[in-house]
Structure 1
Amino acid sequence: MPKVGLFFGSFNPVHVGHMIIANFMATQTGLEEVWMVVSPHNPLKPKKTLARDHDRLHLVRLAIGDNPKLKASDVEFGLPQPSYTVDTLSYLKEKYPSRQFVLIMGGDNLATLHKWKNYELLLRDHEIFVYQRPSHDLGELQQHPSIKIVEAPLMQISASYIRNCLKAGQSVQYLVPDAVYRYLEEVAIYR
């Protein structure tokens, strides 16, 4: 059964750090492909700070380009909001029964996984690939048999830093993929 990695995120906007992690997971962990799932509303983040859903999805598609191992997913756009990972996985398992879904998350998320809706089901039914984030303790769940810690290359870039640069009229070239940079220069999504 092919394994598909699910990399959930606001991607507000998508940046090179996201793309490095997605490509690493797709090419160096045994996954067939990675779906970058654009979340319309993470229950742990205020929605008012997000660009429109379809703008963020478009930026992810631009970032992916023609990479056959990566896919932009809008699966959560049609599901109830806020988006809960356990509900999205239930929907995907029903829609794609011949695929095995693996969660991809940063160590900061693993440390708070116990606060997620039905997190026990996530641990029971799915592998979770965790990339370590600097200065974040992984918490007690790192010993769980469903958790696989991977040494992915990381960059200290945040979407909020990029948004602040754009608001201030500063360049974000090289912080975001080239196609995303060109688009953001033309369209004032974050200004």
Structure 2
Amino acid sequence: MASQEKIKLVLLACGSFNPITNMHLRMFELARDHLEDTGRYKVVKGIISPVGDGYKKKGLVEACHRLEMARLATESSEWITVDDWESQQPEWVETAKVVRHHHAEVLSSENNSNGDDVDTGKYRKRRKMEKKSPSCMNPKADRPHLNLLCGADVLESFGVPNLWKPEDIEEIVGRYGVTCITRCGSDAEKFINQSDVLYKHRKNISVVREWVTNEISATHVRRALRRGQSVRYLLPDSVVRYIQDHSLYSAESEQKNAGVILAPLQRYSKTE
């Protein structure tokens, strides 16, 4: 496939990034290599979207810190950026809405770069057609595509009761697509086979196997920090310095939101 015929793809990673680790960054590089190696895609951008404080996850430090650490971590990257839209919302925002927001931003940016007016009837008509026929289902579409980038643990979380709305899973996987990085102890292919909705949209899921395994966990990093142990080479040096300068991740901070029900569990349990 010639370069000009390749599908332009944006990778979006949502999560706590509490704190961001080298493995979070490595996921983007692994995904880009795998997707471009297929000969079908040109990965043009990576976006890190830290969750807002309203998520209520135990030990989640303030979004302002998580955003700044992510920005410091990506300073040397020519293609990975950090977006604060999700983290600045007053309440927790469903991942499907975050994906929807960034897809619209990508299309708007592409439209403007081509010199088009996003408010024209022609643009609205095209957007209406895109809603009827999602771009990820049309391999010949010249519009940029967006994939949710995640680890296999996130993919498997689709099966946790009340953590995701079924229609959100359908939208994320069916309309946009997922690029999933394998992790030790997780079997992404098996989970896809066992899930009817994931199996239905299996062609929209790219499973990327990490042969050089690196199981850096933000949870383990926070534990080491609480104990005064070194986390150098697990995080970018600039992030380590930021944590030290702001005295983040203590025994007290790990108890933040302790006993509080996670926002999606609160919201979806009420609807049943």
Shift of 1:90: 1.9
Identity across the alignment (%): 25
Contact 1:5/1:102 (<8 A) preserved: yes
Partner of 1:148: helix, strand, or coil? strand
Number of aligned positions between the proteins: 189
Identify unmatched segments of 5+ residues in structure 1: none
User: How far has the Cα of 1:28 moved from its partner?
Assistant: 4.5
- The corresponding residue for 2:156 is 111
Equivalent position of 1:7 in the other structure: 13
Change over 3 Å in CA distance of 1:79–1:185 after alignment to 2: closer
Partner of 2:73: 63
User: Runs in 1 of length 4+ with deviation above 4 angstroms?
Assistant: none
Q: Which residues of 2 match residues 91-170 of structure 1 at below 5 A? A: 91-97=101-107, 98=110, 99-115=144-160, 116-117=164-165, 118-138=168-188, 139=191, 140=193, 141=195, 143=199, 144-152=202-210, 153-170=212-229
1:37 matches 2:49: yes
Tell me which protein shows more helix as a share of its residues. 2
What is the TM-score with the length of structure 2 in the denominator? 0.63
Aligned 8 A contact 1:17 1:154 in 2 = no
Between the aligned partners of 1:89 and 1:104, the Cα distance in structure 2 is 11
Q: Report the CA distance between 1:109 and its aligned residue.
A: 1.6
Contact 1:4 1:101 in 2 (8 A): yes
- Cα distance in 2 for residues equivalent to 1:122 and 1:17: 23
Unaligned runs of 5+ in 2: 1-6, 37-42, 111-143, 251-272
CA RMSD for the aligned pairs?
A: 2.1
What pairs up with 1:165-176 in 2 under 5 angstroms? Answer: 165-176=224-235
Q: TM-score, normalised by structure 1?
A: 0.88
